[in-house]
Amino acid sequence: MSAQIKQFAIYSRKSKFTGKGESIENQIEMCKKYISDNYGKEFADNACVYEDEGFSGKNLKRPQFQKMLKESKEGKFDAIVVYRLDRISRNVGDFAKLIEDLVNRNIAFISTKEKDFDGSTAMNRAMLHIASAFAELERETIAERIRDNMHELAKSGRWLGGTTPTGFESESILHESANGKTHTSCILKPIPEEIVIVKLIFDKFIETNALSQTEQFLMNNGYTTKTGKRFSRFAIRAILTNPVYCVADEDMYNYLTQNDADLFSEKSAFDGVHAIMAYNKTKQQQGNANKVKPLSEWIVAVGKHEGIISGAKWVQVQNMLDLNKSKSYRKPRSNIALLSGVLRCAECGDYMRPKMSGRLTADGEPSFVYLCSTKEKSKSHLCHVKNVNGNKIDAEVIKAIKDSQKTNSDASSRIASLKKQLSSANDNYEEEKVVIKDKIKANDNEINLRVDKFIKVQDAFIEERIKAQITELRTENERLNSRLEELDALTQQNNLSALEFDVISKKLSSVSNSIDDYTVDEKRKLIKSVIKEVRWDGKEAHIYRLDADGECDLSGIQDMQHIEPLGEDSK
């Protein structure tokens, strides 16, 4: 096969951003030297180079690797050279499929460390698979070592840092190890006023059997989170499912064993006083919110802090949540409301959402109202604005847009300008997202390095420094992930395609009555392309349009007169 090679590709990968050891540059140079020594310097100089730095070898989802595969199918090269087999993959299955695919397309595969592995013969393919198997064994060994380290951390039942759960703060304590050295670790210290709220959340959920009613109770009575925000259903559920509040008693021991949790503490440690500490509970996902792992993957120990919720009560709440989840049914959203995400309550500033009445209008359309989300959640305790007839306000907004097009000849230029602005904004958002994701990956790598150092270090001062660094990195990643969510929302909000803008522009340049022929989706897009928001104060709706530069024109397109509310739904 080597005699047929005309063009080489070099692939290099490193998990961490570093110039030490087998760096990207070193890998490339060694591959070029191999090509030059065995095939000629001109082949080395003309080789296609693909570099993935900061990517793990556990799977093949790497940008430059995928680009290399794509270009291999286009016939750009005849051979792939790597410094070592595990630069490609540490997974036997992935590696086997890759070798088979390359062989079928007559592309040689060469490793400079595992000499003469070109995948062209059955023997060499077998040797490649064996070498790959050892690479996967190494990866699994690393995973076992990490889990063993987590078991060691679980011995003390201590808090590892990061944002403390509602009801607690982190407290540093000194302790002496078996070799006589002094160490610093953290335990959870209760905050009495927050503990009261946590107990109240559990009691109220058991009483109502509903997250929404628990949310309403907390909202109406002014209870807030550590950061002063209202408790959302998501935050309430996070508290109810967190075992950090649960007393380590017989009920909890039975629940954990029945669900195959990895129990580090013996049954005798479940003393009915101290609480549960769960490690390895969440799956860290770069660029995405963390997800809770199955209970069978948790590493559970008895902590140093005292529990506040009995095992029986905590288990009861988990069963109730599971039952509610299995019975839950999300009603389909209205497919005719035009102002979702645009209409706001002038009294409290929250968005107003559509609610179907189950009746029909005189024109045979489904009848609905818009109601304030805060008013609905608080049962009119925190907001009293009247509901508004959805059919009427939608029609009035469309009429206002039609009237504005009769008197404004620059409608098409405004839409074209907005199209350009949104496209430019989305480009900027995508660039920022790439930078943020790279930073999150770098932070995750740094956290892993510091965790390894923390386990090995024997100095109390250095332990404190490392914990502070880990906490700082985790806090920064939380902020970065929040920004990613914000950018995703902004991108989605700007997601009007060029074709859709062109269609709207052409239609607006014709008779304004053509708007009546739009589909519901086209009307929604039209509204969002020319209107910033609509405010309903219970009597009048005020429309704030976007000017030619995409800014909000506070003079409004038109102030609509009083729209009669819809019967009893106006309460």
Beta bridge partners, 362, equal none
Distance CA 426, CA 424 (A): 5
Alpha helices of 334-459 — where are they, by DSSP H? 373-377, 390-407, 411-456
pLDDT number for residue 558: 40
* Residue in the structure block whose two tokens are 């709440």: 317
Residue 2, pLDDT score: 45
Cα angle 216, 218, 224 (rounded to 5 degrees) comes to 130
- Predicted confidence at residue 124, as pLDDT, reads 60
> Quick one: pLDDT at residue 274?
93
447 three-class SS: helix
- pLDDT value at residue 148: 59
Residue 395, H or E segment:
helix 390-407
CA dist., res. 404 & res. 547, Å (int): 12
Bridge-partner residues for 231, per DSSP? none
Instruction: Report CA-CA distances (Å) from 245 to 66, 148, 166, 215, 356.
Output: 45, 25, 10, 19, 40
**Sheet harboring 352-360: ordered strands across?**
352-360, 366-372, 388-389
Burial class (CB in 10 A: 0-12, 13-18, 19+), 412: middle
Q: How far apart are alpha carbons 277 and 349 in whole angstroms?
A: 40
* Structural domains of the chain ordered from first start: 2-144 (3.40.50.1390), 168-327 (3.90.1750.20), 331-571 (no CATH)
How would you write the pLDDT of the chain (571 residues) with one tens digit per residue? 444 788 999 999 886 554 444 678 888 988 999 999 888 999 999 999 998 887 776 677 888 999 999 999 888 999 999 988 778 776 666 776 787 778 778 888 888 876 655 554 555 656 556 655 655 655 565 555 555 555 555 555 677 666 789 999 988 777 665 566 666 677 889 999 999 999 999 999 999 999 989 998 998 899 999 888 889 888 999 999 999 999 999 999 999 999 888 887 888 989 999 999 887 777 655 445 567 788 888 888 888 899 999 999 999 999 999 888 766 545 445 578 899 888 999 999 888 999 888 888 888 888 999 999 889 888 888 898 999 999 999 988 888 877 766 554 555 565 666 667 767 777 888 888 888 888 888 888 888 787 777 666 666 677 777 777 887 888 888 888 878 877 776 776 666 444 455 555 555 555 455 677 788 888 888 888 778 889 999 888 888 876 544 444 434 444 443 444 443 344 4
In whole angstroms, what separates CA 46 from the centre of its chain? 41
3-state secondary structure of 384: coil
CA 244 to CA 241: how far, in whole Å?
9
Helix axes 122-155, 411-456, angle to 10 degrees: 80
pLDDT at res. 539: 86
pTM (2 decimals)? 0.48
